[in-house]
Structure 1
């Protein structure tokens, strides 16, 4: 087992105190958006040894999954992640074009898809997937502005998922003016003052506009489902699912990728064409993840086709010999509450306090946690992708 030093990302939507407080660090007034725990080349963790630090890749190779801590004080971009074929093709095209990996104009940072799951550490608000056609029409009907009347007419003429995607495409390719967005937000505010809303659509637009005035993403937010996760709840965002996190702190576990197609609510590079193409291959659904119980103290969240899993284990002095964790092989662990000792199959132990992270592999065997606290563990199940075979039976 190795203790990890993990890099952070200071994106402008990050929280100035959420992650520093979680990791028991002093805040410096700058936003800290993410902690990356993995081997992605844009943010590789380091292991701590008696000889000093070395990249996690030196002892683990390239991990196929990554764990993050995310803290948002303001909305993230409206975005979608590519599936495997589109990621491979897009990456190859940009490599051939010679676009530097760290260029603002670079869209595909690696050749991998990016399905991901969020696990709430605090109340976590997000937008995930499109609302049904009938619900979108109800939202638009309550806002008597030129652009909402136009959008409603377009959707009535072509309802369903493809019609919703076309609605988004038209807004992205010919964005409304700032005054048009302001008119819609004013109509939303007026409806809220009268006690009217449609599943928090108007509330969301008003909240988002405070951070991104005049942005086309404010209009698109009206089309998306608002989802609130309480601590301990999780949601799976498969490739092709449009989403935009709004606020809160969570763990994210995902395929080790940084491929993001953005289409609003951001100062980063916008890729509307790539985003629309990805949407055409994705389903519009909200997917809460129901955990399975492992033993008496561990919830296991295993969404999708098994590219990754997350276990969350609580332990206390009521179990003095500790709690056995699921899985063997390569694992990344982070203490999410309290303080615990992680003990491997050889009896070696590593002390973790809240915010501390560690790496374990096959040589560590089965792990136990002892103490009073909570530990999250990201890993790739041994029978990854077995669901494909099950689906065919």
Structure 2
């Protein structure tokens, strides 16, 4: 059992308050803090702390030194000698790029293809940096806004008609004439491959129309979608991703609600703080709203244009005592939220964990005492985590404050490669 100190990723779209406040640091932070990583990713493995609070090693090194004891036979047989998931706290003040992730087969094939072409792993035009897929789940800690999955094309036709933009008419006709996944593919492909001169005309026309609709009498049916396109258009006025955003579901999550993004799902997080868990991969195919590399043909190979209802993207939840478990199809991870009451007046003050395999408990509110059977407790404050390896004895977790909230990440029992 090892206390963990996460790695802060200072991306420009991050918050100067959310992660710093959680960790008890100075607010606002000197730089935007976008993500706090708890895992063994080579780009930022969490630090393992000793009894005196000093860094002893990092989690990647610790796993490499004893993969069997840290991961267990079941996880190794399915995923090899690597932690198959990465757990994060994500805090977005600005929209992230429009992106999707490949399936396992696509990732393997793409990785081998780019290796054969001699593209360096750190090259800016590299799409596949490893042979793994990257399903992901985010659970909102605050109100959380996102774009995810292609909206029912009939509703999108209504949205485009509401704008009443003559420049949109050819594209509106394209989707109205084929309101299905193939129509979405054709329209999305057309927009992403438009000449710069066409984008420079079409995007401002759409933004001006959005202002008119929102300023009109009554409440616009697609007010949230139009406000989002205005925000994106202001940040990326010559980006076809602004147009592509009109095709996606606009989603508002309340704290505790989750969003599961399987392979091929086009998405962009817009604003909010959440706990994210994903398969341990760097494979991202971008579709806009970013100055980074965009490979349109490869993105089109990966994307799933099947329309998705918002409810289909929200995972089912099973509650077991104090644990709220988010159920997904991902074999690499399972995420749950646990809330304990240190006063013992409202709900459970402790919980016992006995599942085999690697686990990470990340504390977001209050503090917890983690006691291995027959051992001494370790106190984990908000903003830190604890690693529990497969060879560790069962643990009992107690609230060490009046209210303690933590998230538990593990490899589910059904894990298969």
| Fold in common (TM above 0.5) | yes
- Verify the 8 A CA contact 2:259 2:315 in the aligned structure 1: yes
TM-score (normalised: structure 2): 0.87
For residue 361 of structure 2, what is the aligned residue in structure 1? 333
Cα distance in structure 1, aligned partners of 2:94 and 2:130 = 27
1:313 to 338, 348, 366: 338
- Verify the 8 A CA contact 1:19 1:71 in the aligned structure 2: yes
Unaligned runs of 5+ in 2: 65-81
**CA 1:199–1:112 in 2, change beyond 3 Å: closer, same or farther?**
farther
Asked whether 1:58 is paired with 2:93, we answer: no
Deviation (angstroms), 1:154:
1.0
For residue 391 of structure 1, what is the aligned residue in structure 2? none
For residue 226 of structure 2, what is the aligned residue in structure 1? 202
Alignment deviations for residues 58-96 of structure 1 (CA, whole Å, 9 cap, x no partner): 322410111011111111111110000111111122223
SS in 2 for 1:70: strand
**CA 1:384–1:121 in 2, change beyond 3 Å: closer, same or farther?**
same
For residue 274 of structure 1, what is the aligned residue in structure 2? 298
Cα distance in structure 1, aligned partners of 2:200 and 2:89 = 34
Deviation (angstroms), 1:310:
0.8
Alignment deviations for residues 190-227 of structure 1 (CA, whole Å, 9 cap, x no partner): 10111323262212211222322232111111111111
**CA 1:300–1:116 in 2, change beyond 3 Å: closer, same or farther?**
same
List aligned pairs for 1:1-393, cutoff 5 A. 1-26=1-26, 27-49=28-50, 52-61=55-64, 62-175=82-195, 176-194=198-216, 195-198=219-222, 200-280=224-304, 284-286=308-310, 287-295=313-321, 297-319=322-344, 322-325=350-353, 327-371=355-399, 372-384=403-415
Cα distance in structure 1, aligned partners of 2:103 and 2:350 = 40
SS in 2 for 1:267: coil
Deviation (angstroms), 1:381:
0.9
Alignment deviations for residues 303-348 of structure 1 (CA, whole Å, 9 cap, x no partner): 1144311121111124486222463320111101111112222333
**CA 1:97–1:346 in 2, change beyond 3 Å: closer, same or farther?**
farther
- Between 118-127 and 356-365, the greater mean CA deviation after superposition: 356-365
Alignment deviations for residues 242-301 of structure 1 (CA, whole Å, 9 cap, x no partner): 111100001111111121111111122212222111114866443112311112x11011
Deviation (angstroms), 1:234:
0.7
Question: How many residues end up aligned between the 2 structures?
Answer: 385
- Verify the 8 A CA contact 1:240 1:282 in the aligned structure 2: no
Alignment deviations for residues 127-180 of structure 1 (CA, whole Å, 9 cap, x no partner): 111111110100110122244212111112332012102211111122542332
**CA 1:281–1:179 in 2, change beyond 3 Å: closer, same or farther?**
closer
Alignment deviations for residues 37-71 of structure 1 (CA, whole Å, 9 cap, x no partner): 21222222231236843231232241011101111
- Between 58-67 and 132-141, the greater mean CA deviation after superposition: 58-67
Unaligned runs of 5+ in 1: 387-393
Cα distance in structure 1, aligned partners of 2:350 and 2:304 = 48
- Verify the 8 A CA contact 1:133 1:164 in the aligned structure 2: yes
Cα distance in structure 2, aligned partners of 1:326 and 1:210 = 51
Cα distance in structure 1, aligned partners of 2:90 and 2:354 = 24
- Verify the 8 A CA contact 2:181 2:306 in the aligned structure 1: no
**CA 1:162–1:385 in 2, change beyond 3 Å: closer, same or farther?**
farther
SS in 2 for 1:69: strand
For residue 390 of structure 1, what is the aligned residue in structure 2? none
